[in-house]
């Protein structure tokens, strides 16, 4: 079987990463799949496949790639994060929290891991721990509209309308066309009127 030089592998991974950031997930996957044919236990390529599949909403394929990455490297924080994210998407909170806590131990102070962990904790009923974790994520990455939105929804659910509105307003300033933020802000205003 043909093999790629380490320089070629690095170039392919870099090219796939660039395509992913441009939102060209299928193109990135084609490069990664070529690489995996020759180097099937390349953990970085498997992590990237999982991440691209996740972006495409192909949760089964993302999960399969993440599990394969873990088979080669049980300390792949990316694979643990992806498995935790997928579990949270399907509201499997215990499973999500377990995977995200491992990811957080392996890659501490990663705002995205903390955001997902905070949301899963909050959604599982660990309200204070979840909100504290979301706040920590926001402190690490103040301009993240997703974190602002998640935290805004958490405050909304705990009936702190002023804090919720302020966070969602910041999210809207950063990402004015985000439909989720617009929807959440409209919900705050409706609930505020009902409560008032």
pLDDT(196) > 80 = no
Q: Is the pLDDT of residue 1 over 70?
A: no
Sign of CA dihedral 36, 42, 46, 52: negative
Alpha carbon distance 183, 188 (integer Å)? 9
Place of tokens 């992590």: 47
Taking the model in full, what pTM does it have? 0.91
User: How far is the CA of 9 from the CAs of 2, 26, 166, in angstroms?
Assistant: 13, 18, 46
Retrieve residue 175's tokens: 């990402």
The Cα 85–Cα 120 span in angstroms is 9
Instruction: Please state the rounded mean pLDDT for residues 9-17.
Output: 94
In contact, 153 and 164? CB cutoff 8 Å? yes
Q: What is the C-alpha to C-alpha distance for residues 123 and 5, in angstroms, rounded to an integer? A: 46
pLDDT digits (tens, 9 = 90+) for 56-99: 999 999 999 999 999 999 999 999 999 999 999 999 999 999 99
Q: What percent of the chain has pLDDT over 90?
A: 82
């Amino acid at each position: 079987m043909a093999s790629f030089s380490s320089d070629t592998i690095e170039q392919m991974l870099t090219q796939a990463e660039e395509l992913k950031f441009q939102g060209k997930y299928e193109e990135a996957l084609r490069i990664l799949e070529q690489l995996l044919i020759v180097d099937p236990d390349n953990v970085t390529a498997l992590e990237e496949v999982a991440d691209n599949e996740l972006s495409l909403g192909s949760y089964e394929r993302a999960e399969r790639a993440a599990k394969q990455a873990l088979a080669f490297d049980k300390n792949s924080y990316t694979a643990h994060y992806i498995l935790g994210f997928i579990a949270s998407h399907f509201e499997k909170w215990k499973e999500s929290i377990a995977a995200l806590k491992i990811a957080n131990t392996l890659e501490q102070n990663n705002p995205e891991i903390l955001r997902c962990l905070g949301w899963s904790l909050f959604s599982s009923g660990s309200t204070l721990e979840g909100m504290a974790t979301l706040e920590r994520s926001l402190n690490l990455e103040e301009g993240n509209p997703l974190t602002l939105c998640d935290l805004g929804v958490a405050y909304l659910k705990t009936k702190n309308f002023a804090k919720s509105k302020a966070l969602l307003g910041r999210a809207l300033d950063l990402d004015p066309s985000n439909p989720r933020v617009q929807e959440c802000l409209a919900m705050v205003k409706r609930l505020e009127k009902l409560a008032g």
